Amino acid sequence: MKIGGLQKVSLIDYPGEISSVIFCQGCNFRCPYCHNPELVDPELFSACLCEDSILSFHRSRIGKLDAVTVTGGEPTIQQDLASFLKCLKAMGYQIKIDTNGSMPGVLARLIAEHLVDYIAMDIKGPLEKYGKITGMAGVSEQIAESVRLILSSNVNYEFRTTVVDSLLTEEDLLNVGDLIAQSRRYALQPFVPSKALRPQYLEEKSLSLETLARVRGQLGKKIDSVIIRPST
């Protein structure tokens, strides 16, 4: 595992649980608004943290932490992800994965082997815009397959979209709703220009809250719970 950072405690990353947050280094997408550029751009990478020390920390927090959130970067491109999660599960932790959904085969394994308890999948936009938004063409089938896997699993989950005005329209968000129809939970996340992979995106903004509220009302007809996640 290439681990670029550790947050020792979080009250917001795993819904309803006290968790740590492990940040994986490396991503196969290049979303220009990414708020963790130091985990995506190899030129910004710092020295990786020792996997053994991360596991040792979690052994020392058994009974104090409930869960571990594994985020990135993109966790599912890590070759040792499954074995690493097995170690954490053996300690009794619940596991949440944040993923872009580009590796459905990995997700299928994690679900089948009961290595993940919560999946948060970022939906970048409608499938036809993935190449423009992520810089990676030809992933539509993988994204759709990951959505199907998650919807058919018994794992708790949410889908979420970071909304940048210049990349997504109201119609785009409604099209995402068609992709994830009948899902339990969808979070619309207004873009906050604090950090970005492409510095020019620090000048970007989200769609208006009025527009997002209108979208939420429309999506609520086909998705159980649609929220506008507060900006942080």
Angle between helices 140-152 and 104-112 (to 10 degrees): 20
On the question of pLDDT at 222 being above 50, the answer is: yes
On the question of pLDDT at 232 being above 60, the answer is: no
What pLDDT was estimated at residue 230? 80
139-179 pLDDT, tens digit per residue, is 999 999 999 999 999 999 999 999 999 999 999 999 999 99
Identify the band that residue 92 occupies on the pLDDT scale cut at 50, 70 and 90: very high
The structural architecture, per CATH, of the domain 3-228 is Alpha-Beta Barrel (3.20)
On the question of pLDDT at 201 being above 50, the answer is: yes
Whether omega for the bond prior to residue 73 falls within 30 degrees of 0, making it cis, is yes
186-197 pLDDT, tens digit per residue, is 999 999 999 999
Sequential DSSP letters for 153-216: SSSEEEEEEEE-TTT--HHHHHHHHHHTTT-SEEEEEE--TT--SSGGGGG--PPPHHHHHHHH
What pLDDT was estimated at residue 231? 59
Sorted by where each begins, the domain ranges of the chain are: 3-228
Identify the band that residue 131 occupies on the pLDDT scale cut at 50, 70 and 90: very high
